[in-house]
Structure 1
Amino acid sequence: MIAAVLVNSFVVVLTVIVHYEFLFRLTQLLPKMKVRHRFRIVLGVCGALTAHALEVWIFAFAYYFLNGVGGWGQLQGSFDGSLADCVYFSFTTFTTLGFGDIQPVGTLRYLTGIEALTGLVLITWTASFLFVEMQRFWNRK
């Protein structure tokens, strides 16, 4: 169980660092861009979506590797063990959509739960970031 907590913590910390760095870099980059102010918001959204996609892939790699290691549990259901299925499962978990066609069994359930919570927090953080950026640039000409 300690190994699960350590692995889960590592994956969460890594995704939070990635998210922080993306938003920090966007905060620095957007004001310096020589484009229309409204286009900056579009670039901010694209940057945030890129960050979220990368974070989903980090969790997907964790599922992919842990699924093949004994003692961590596995993903079952409409799952063929491919990285593509792990990415799909990660997207549905990160967004808390959860179609239910792939289910975690064993210790992987803890990573699934923490991914849903992490996704919720990071998506909310992105919404707050974009709101602040919109206030900053929206009314400028």
Structure 2
Amino acid sequence: MAAEHHVNLLNATLINGLIVAIVVLIHHEVLIHLSGILSRMRQSHRFRLIAAVFGVLAAHTLQVWIFASAFYFMHHAEGWGQLAGNFSGSILDCVYFSFTTFTTLGYGDIEAFGILRFLTGIEALAGLVLITWSASFLFVEMQRYWPTR
């Protein structure tokens, strides 16, 4: 039984690492493309900044859905643990849980059990880093395009 637990833990570590790698690469590519698009835009600085904010929000939403998909499949598969509480097992409940985890809001109305808890911690850490990265990107863009007084 202990050997099976170690295999599951190793598999969870590999899957979690893959998910984090995917969302980080997506974030990097979105910011690179956004930067290029913003530099070519001829609209007002306000429009460019709003476009940047929407681009960042879209990237984070995609990242949350990637984590939510992992929660959904791991919850419904054997040996990964489960989500419980105010949780029906639907993909939308997984998305809600993922949003609260990614943003580190964590209402606590849904709780992870078993190896699945590892993914919640990884998502919170990744969310914190990616949101901070987005804030830094938006700050630089604001400095670049904000009107001088």
Q: TM (normalized to structure 1)?
A: 0.97
SS in 2 for 1:50: helix
Unaligned regions of 5+ residues in structure 1, if any?
none
1:111 aligned to 2:119? yes
Q: CA deviation at 1:34?
A: 2.1
1:23 aligned to 2:42? no
Q: What is the 5 A alignment of 1:1-141?
A: 1-139=9-147
Q: Distance in 1 between matches of 2:121 and 2:10?
A: 16
SS in 2 for 1:55: helix
Q: Which amino acid aligns with 1:70?
A: E
Moved over 6 A (4+): none
- 2:4 matched residue in structure 1: none
Deviates more, 1:20-29 or 1:33-42: 33-42
Of all paired residues, the percent bearing the same amino acid is 59
How many aligned positions are there?
141
Q: Compute the RMSD of aligned alpha carbons.
A: 1.1
> Which structure: larger Rg?
2
Unaligned regions of 5+ residues in structure 2, if any?
1-8
Q: CA deviation at 1:102?
A: 0.4
Deviates more, 1:118-127 or 1:131-140: 131-140
